């Protein structure tokens, strides 16, 4: 069965990104033409280096759009939220370009050209998004799925992928009940299983079959599935489908064989070297930018309640090894005077006034950059937990120890996809995303998570 393939939604987002790169480059070219309408000489001089400079504008703006979550597949935005993020993206992208022009004057395109380009670019992006939504929002452009199974496992597609934003790349044509298995799916969604699967796939114009029975001990119709595959119909099991479309590992449908045989878990030397280089570069740049704020936070913590400024705590890292994590102190010094580890909660009364602010803005996390530089942590990875909680969660949650096969991170996929966790249930939900990262981590995914973390910090999602 096919598994581990990149999500079509991710490919669609890449196509959208390329389209908007082109739109922004055209916007810069149009801005040059408008700005120098009566000055052909200046226009000709710009054209000589146009590809390089127009590409820089497009890359900076789309990078800013990524940071504000506009290329994130699983975020549901209303019109006001989208427009606000788009406006902020162009504002921050424009400011970043002005900084670049100051540092590298050779890239300068002129204030007038930049202002016109940003205005035309924003209009172009709005038009592009509207056209793409009208064209590709229709079911005719989506992948048609037939689900083999109509029990509890199959119904997870209805319960966990019910939003239109979850189904941008596919439409479920129907569910085929498995003989002898309990049917949970609503009757109007069922498809008669009297005909062979290959005949159903042909009749219903199916592109992919998702295999999702509650039990496999009775066997699967492998001959039918093979016939479908020979006809070019994709065959995917439910665990791989959720991994691809939802960016998570569903704990109640995945088994060890899915994890063992589906690929991923890249720990090759090139990957280890690229990840370490990424960690050192990202942590060093952020430290250079953040050290004035770190001094200010340290002063505020000390002025409010005296020392200590830092809070050190033992956490569990890669391969279960313990390390000492450092944060700015955000709670009272007697927060755990009885020595009992407790989850943080909403409006935690142990938090100081300064602590509430630095926790909501994530400023308390900045000292962990030194953990990254030392190699205890990575910049991107599952969040490290305390040994007391890890011992509890290992016994209560299946596969929890798998998340320790990589270094813990300052930010991560689960932090983007799920709010702050403060219970065993929250830990189980976050593990679905942590396992997806552990299995699929790579330099591109790390960079995407890093950029989208900016959105989390700015909009204060998930902090306590």
176 pLDDT exceeds 90?
A: yes
Q: How far apart are CA 188 and CA 179, in angstroms?
A: 18
Question: What DSSP character marks residue 310?
Answer: E
Q: Which residues pair with 324 in a beta bridge?
A: 314
Here the tokens at position 367 are: 């000292």
CB 92 within 8 A of CB 63: no
- Chain centroid to Cα 318, Å, comes to 22
Q: What is the pLDDT of residues 424-442, one digit of tens each?
A: 888 998 999 999 999 989 8
Q: What is the pLDDT of residues 203-227, one digit of tens each?
A: 999 999 999 999 877 678 999 999 9
Here the tokens at position 289 are: 């930018």
Predicted local distance difference test score (pLDDT) of residue 444: 77
Handedness of CA 430, 160, 171, 177 (dihedral sign): positive
**Which three-class secondary structure state does DSSP give residue 53?**
helix
Q: Which residues pair with 409 in a beta bridge?
A: 378
| DSSP H helices in 262-367 | 269-305, 353-360
Mean pLDDT of 306-329: 93
Q: How far apart are CA 11 and CA 7, in angstroms?
A: 7
Residue 9's pLDDT band, with cuts at 50, 70 and 90, is low
CA torsion 369-374-380-386 (nearest 10°) is -90
86 Cβ contact list (under 8 Å, min separation 6): 65, 68, 70, 122, 125, 126
Q: Which residues in the chain are classed under CATH 3.40.50.720?
A: 140-261
Here the tokens at position 301 are: 């913590």
Q: How far apart are CA 150 and CA 137, in angstroms?
A: 26
Half-sphere exposure of 422 (CA within 13 A, CB side): 12
CB 48 within 8 A of CB 108: no
> Class for domain 140-261, per CATH?
alpha beta
Q: Which comes out higher in pLDDT, residue 166 or 122?
A: 122
Predicted local distance difference test score (pLDDT) of residue 389: 92
Predicted local distance difference test score (pLDDT) of residue 216: 79
Could you tell me the pTM of the whole model?
Answer: 0.72
Here the tokens at position 299 are: 């002063």
CB 346 within 8 A of CB 436: no
Q: What is the pLDDT of residues 39-83, one digit of tens each?
A: 666 666 566 666 788 999 999 999 999 888 788 755 556 677 788
Predicted local distance difference test score (pLDDT) of residue 374: 95
Q: How far apart are CA 439 and CA 401, in angstroms?
A: 13
Predicted local distance difference test score (pLDDT) of residue 4: 36
How many CB atoms are located within 10 Å of the residue 391 CB? 12
Q: Which residues pair with 144 in a beta bridge?
A: 171
CB 109 within 8 A of CB 117: yes
Most confident region among 84-93, 244-253, 364-373 by mean pLDDT: 364-373
pLDDT cut 70: percent of the chain above it: 86
Question: What DSSP character marks residue 6?
Answer: P
């Amino acid at each position: 069965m096919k598994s581990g393939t990149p999500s079509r939604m991710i490919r669609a987002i890449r196509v959208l990104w390329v389209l908007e790169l082109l739109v922004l480059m055209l916007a810069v070219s149009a801005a040059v033409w408008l700005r120098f309408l009566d000055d052909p000489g200046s226009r000709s001089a710009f054209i000589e280096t146009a590809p390089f400079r127009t590409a820089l504008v497009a890359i900076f703006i789309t990078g800013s759009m990524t940071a504000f979550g506009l290329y994130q597949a699983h975020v549901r935005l209303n019109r006001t939220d989208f427009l606000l993020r788009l406006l902020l993206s162009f504002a921050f992208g424009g400011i970043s370009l002005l900084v670049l022009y100051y540092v590298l004057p050779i890239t300068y395109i002129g204030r007038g050209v930049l202002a016109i380009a940003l205005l035309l670019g924003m209009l172009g992006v709005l038009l592009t998004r509207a056209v793409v939504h009208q064209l590709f929002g229709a079911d005719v452009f989506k992948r048609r799925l037939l689900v083999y199974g109509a029990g509890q496992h199959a119904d997870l597609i209805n319960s966990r992928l019910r939003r239109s934003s979850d189904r941008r790349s596919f439409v479920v044509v129907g569910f085929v009940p498995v003989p002898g298995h309990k049917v949970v799916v609503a009757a109007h969604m069922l498809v008669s299983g009297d005909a062979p699967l290959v005949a159903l796939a042909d009749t219903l114009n199916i592109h992919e079959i998702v295999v999702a029975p509650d039990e496999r001990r009775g066997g699967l119709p492998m001959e039918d599935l093979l016939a479908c595959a020979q006809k070019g119909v994709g065959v995917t099991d439910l665990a791989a489908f959720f991994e691809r479309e939802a960016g998570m590992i569903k704990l109640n449908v995945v088994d060890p064989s899915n994890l063992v045989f589906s690929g991923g878990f890249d720990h090759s030397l090139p990957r280890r070297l690229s990840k370490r280089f990424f960690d050192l570069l990202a942590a060093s740049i952020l430290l250079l930018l953040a050290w004035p704020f770190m001094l200010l936070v340290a002063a505020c913590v000390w002025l409010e309640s005296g020392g200590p400024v830092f809070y050190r705590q033992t956490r569990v890292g890669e391969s279960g090894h313990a390390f000492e994590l450092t944060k700015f102190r955000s709670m009272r010094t007697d927060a755990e005077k009885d020595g009992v580890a407790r989850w943080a909660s909403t409006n935690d009364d142990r938090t100081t006034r300064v602590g509430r602010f630095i926790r909501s803005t994530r400023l308390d996390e900045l000292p962990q950059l030194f953990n990254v530089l030392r190699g205890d942590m990575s910049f991107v990875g599952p969040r490290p937990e305390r040994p007391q909680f890890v011992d509890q969660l290992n016994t209560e949650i299946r596969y929890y120890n798998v998340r320790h096969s990589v270094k813990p991170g300052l930010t991560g996929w689960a932090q983007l996809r799920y709010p702050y966790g403060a219970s065993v249930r929250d830990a189980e939900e976050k593990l679905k995303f942590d396992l997806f990262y552990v299995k699929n981590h790579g330099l591109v995914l790390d960079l995407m998570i890093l950029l989208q973390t900016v959105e989390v910090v700015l909009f204060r999602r998930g902090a306590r």
